[in-house]
Amino acid sequence: MKEYNSEEEFLKDYDSSIFDKLSMTSDIIVISISSKDKSDYRRTDKKMMSILLSKRNDYPYKGKWCLPGGFLNPKTETLEECARRVLKRETNLSDIYLEQLYTFDGLNRDPRMRIVSTSFIALVDKNRLKSRVEYASWFDVISVNEKNNIVEITLSNEEETIIFSIKKELRKGSTDRYNFITKKNDKIAFDHDKVILAGIERLKNKINYTDIVFNMMPEYFTLGELQQVYEVILGKKLLDPAFRRIIANKVEKTDKMKTGEGHRPSYLFRYKKNEN
Amino acid sequence: MKEYNSEEEFLKDYDSSIFDKLSMTSDIIVISISSKDKSDYRRTDKKMMSILLSKRNDYPYKGKWCLPGGFLNPKTETLEECARRVLKRETNLSDIYLEQLYTFDGLNRDPRMRIVSTSFIALVDKNRLKSRVEYASWFDVISVNEKNNIVEITLSNEEETIIFSIKKELRKGSTDRYNFITKKNDKIAFDHDKVILAGIERLKNKINYTDIVFNMMPEYFTLGELQQVYEVILGKKLLDPAFRRIIANKVEKTDKMKTGEGHRPSYLFRYKKNEN
DNA sequence: TGAATAGTGTCTGTGAGACAATATTAT
DNA sequence: ATAATATTGTCTCACAGACACTATTCA
């Protein structure tokens, strides 16, 4: 083997083809909050999480739904830049909250070849999306039910309902980490069912010790609306006074009011940074 | 474009060379607890974290220290399997606690070519490592000091001291997530300085709401020892009664004692699963 | 005996959970 | 007036922080 005396010299000779290579993708679970129309004039809108899915036009998994994603161009971009490029294409927005979620790399997750996918969570305020998305469709997260370590998730857009379930199997030697095993899944492509579950769980875990939720809120909101968002994400009702104590130093009251709702109007609040 | 009528038909024709490809590696920050010899017969050993580093024999970064790692074989293994293969080689152990940490993918993190690295944390009880590691060396984590969002980490083995510092720059639009920017680093190869910081922070964050710490403990331990491990990882002193309350339902008392320490002997405890 | 760690008791303040009470609007 | 949500008050209980005290060993 040749002896090199400097890194430059070594690199000049380096043949990058000696290692087996593979392709990577960035896949994104875009989460936002949508409102179901109120049935009663004085009731507030029911809020739910929604996620963005695209219908696959080509093989593999033709006709199934998948998360927005794209192949990494290894010469020019990072995985996060790749994700932003995809998001720009899908939503026409460039400044979306993005956070690396997990790298999925099962040997057969893509039937074409070995593809490793780094997934991201994107959180967005739905009001910012003016134009209807062309290829993608928003699915409401109707329910997330966990029983005996099996999670069943129900998604629905206007035309279609998707139900899939995943078993969370305790990892050997751990008391709190799980392998995800698909139990039932007819309509989601690749392993994106697992990405969706991982994303929903990450959001649920982080909502209580970070401020990420405000990435899904409009600039002005009532505390009732904010509380509903927490309730939807956490999957449980919260008590009003407790909730207000918790978020008190994360928001600031404005002098604006939300009126015309058939009941007592409420002050509009705004996200307030800092001050822990 | 040819029309396909089934996924099988499509795959038969599929040319996987149309996308640019790249190489991946798994890099592992192996963390364990070591004890400094007691100077006074009645004082307890001082505990510290230690991490495993290898000296690079080849370019690039020849002569610098790096984390154990290796190239992924895309045909045969997952990233975690790749990490376990490396760990087996370095420590001769197969059943080490392993957790995916983060995927690092800066465009120039490796001067040879584009290489994306998925990093893992491994936690191990040092007593299980009988034989001295051949190529790698344990470095004690002497200090982790954060001031004005700059973290300075000092590592040391018997012969060498490594000091590096990283700036944690608040990410745009976030209040709790940071980009890592190397400020000073002469001795750590690649971006492994950032992996080390990410690993130490992950451990610190998870110690309070998981049981991962027991992966670094021997089967029998005193509560004093366990408390020291918590203190080293959290970087602060804890109060005895509070600590005992917190871990009370994670451990069970045995009838064994630890004696001969120059002071009152203490009961040995053992990790107790479940019962939250 | 003295220095050191082991282990327990208990007071206090903080904060979440729970429930109650009052306020205000559109129909 | 009524139904609905908005907003605040307050009681209680759990628990972490703090400090004090007792126990036990080896040189």
Same domain, A137 and A239: no
Instruction: Answer yes or no: is B147 within a domain.
Output: yes
Radius of gyration of chain A (CA): 22
Q: Which two tokens stand for residue B122?
A: 């491994």
Q: How many domains does chain A have?
A: 2
Binning chain B into helix, strand and coil, the percentages to the nearest 5 are 25, 35, 40
Judge if A199 and A222 occupy the same domain. Answer: no
- Asked whether residue B223 carries a pLDDT value surpassing 50, the answer given is yes
Confidence band for B175, pLDDT divided at 50, 70 and 90: confident
Residue B87 has φ and ψ, to the nearest 5°, of -65, -40
- For residue B130, the model assigns a pLDDT of 72
User: Look-up: residue for tokens 């080849």?
Assistant: B58
Within A135-274, residue ranges assigned H as helices are 192-206, 223-234, 240-247
**Phi, psi (5° rounding) for residue B17?**
-90, 0
pLDDT at A195: 98
- pLDDT at residue number B120: 98
Would B11 be classed as within a structural domain? no
Q: Which tokens sit at A233?
A: 């994400």
Q: Does residue A141 sit in the same domain as residue A245?
A: no
Considering the entire predicted model, what is its pTM?
A: 0.94
A44: CATH:
3.90.79.10
Dihedral sign, CA of B131, A171, B105, A75? Answer: positive
At A5 the pLDDT is 72
Look up residue A276 and give its two tokens: 């822990």
Does one domain contain both B67 and B159? yes
Domain boundary among the residues B206, B222, B237 is at: B206
The pLDDT value recorded for residue A14 is 65
Pick the last residue of a domain from A172, A206, A240. A206
Torsion of CA A48, A32, A27, B122, to 10 degrees: -80
- Nearest residue for C20, CA–C1': A241
Interface residue A93 vs chain B (CB under 8 A): no
Evaluate whether residue A9 is within a structural domain: no
For residue A12, the model assigns a pLDDT of 67
DSSP letter (8 states) at residue A77: -
* Minimum distance, in Å, between the CA of residue B101 and any CA atom of chain A: 9
**Does B178 reach chain A within 8 Å, measured CB to CB?**
no
The secondary structure element, H or E, covering residue B30 is strand B23-36
Q: Tell me, yes or no, whether B247 and B163 share the same domain.
A: no
Q: Give a yes or no: residue A5 inside a domain.
A: no
Query: Is there a contact between A34 and A48 (Cβ–Cβ < 8 Å)?
Result: yes
pLDDT surpassing 70 at residue B182:
yes
- B180–chain A nearest CA distance, Å: 14
Confidence at residue A4, expressed as pLDDT on a 0 to 100 scale: 73
Residue A191, number of CB atoms within 10 A of its CB: 22
- Counting as low any pLDDT under 70, the low residues of chain A are 1-3, 7, 9-19, 131-134, 275-276
| Statement to judge: residues A182 and A71 lie in one domain | yes
Instruction: Report which of residues B174 and A270 the model is more confident about.
Output: A270
Residues 229-268 of chain B whose Cβ lies under 8 A from any Cβ of chain A: none
Pick from B201, B169, B172: nearest CA to B182: B169
Residues A164 and A56 reside in one and the same domain: yes
Inter-chain touch B7–A61, beta carbons under 8 Å: yes
Residue A127 and residue A107 in one domain: yes
User: Token pair of A103, please?
Assistant: 């790298």
Is the CB of B43 less than 7 A from some atom of nucleic acid strand C?
yes
Beta strand pairing status for A23-36 and A115-123?
Answer: parallel
User: Is strand C within 7 Å of residue A43 (CB)?
Assistant: no
Question: CA B170: distance to chain centroid?
Answer: 23
DSSP codes joined into one string, B102-117: EEE--TTSSSSS-EEE
Q: At what angle do helices A240-247 and A223-234 cross, to 10 degrees?
A: 100
Other Cβ atoms within 10 Å of A157 Cβ, number: 14
Indicate the burial class of B51 (C-beta count within 10 angstroms; 0-12, 13-18, 19 or more).
Answer: buried
Residue A130's pLDDT is what? 72
Containing domain of residue B249, as a range? Answer: 212-271
Taking residue B157's Cβ as centre, other Cβ atoms within 10 Å add up to 14
Q: Name the domain boundary from B158, B183, B206.
A: B206
Is residue B150 domain-resident? Answer: yes
> Domain for residue B28, yes or no?
yes
Note whether residue B124 is domain-resident: yes
For strand C, give the nucleotides within 7 A of a protein CB: 2-10, 15-20, 23-27
DSSP lists the bridge partners of residue B71 as B25
DSSP lists the bridge partners of residue A163 as: A154
Instruction: Based on the fold, state whether residues A107 and A166 are members of the same structural domain.
Output: yes
- In a shared domain, residues A156 and A238: no
pLDDT of residue B276: 46
* pLDDT given at position A1: 54
CATH number at residue B263: 1.10.10.10
Task: Check whether residue A196 and residue A217 sit in a common domain.
Answer: no
Distance of residue B229 Cα from the nearest chain A Cα, in angstroms = 19
Q: List pLDDT tens digits, range B19-72.
A: 689 999 999 999 999 998 777 888 899 999 999 999 999 889 999 999 999 999
Best to test chain A binding among B2, B5, B13, B23 (most A CBs inside 10 Å) = B23
Q: How many CB atoms lie within 10 A of CB B132?
A: 8
Same domain for A195 and A59: yes
User: How far apart are the C-alpha atoms of A222 and A213, rounded to whole Å?
Assistant: 14
**A16 lies in a domain?**
no
- In whole angstroms, give the CA distance from residue B243 to residue B227: 7
- Write down the pLDDT at residue B254: 96
> What does the pLDDT read at residue A197?
98
Is B79 an interface residue toward A (CB < 8 Å)?
yes
SS3 category, B127: helix
B222 φ, ψ (degrees, to nearest 5): -90, 160
Please, which residues have CB within 8 angstroms of residue B55's CB and are 6 or more apart in sequence? B63, B64, B65, B135, B137
DSSP per-residue codes, A60-121: SSTTSEE-SEEE--TTT--HHHHHHHHHHHHHS-S--EEEEEEEE--TTSSSSS-EEEEEEE
From the list A159, A163, A197, the residue with the least C-alpha distance to A179 is A197
The residue that minimises its CA distance to C1' of D18 is: B239
The angle subtended at Cα A120 by Cα A54 and Cα A82, nearest 5°, is 80
Report pLDDT digits (tens) over B92-138.
999 999 999 999 999 999 999 999 999 999 999 998 887 666 678 99
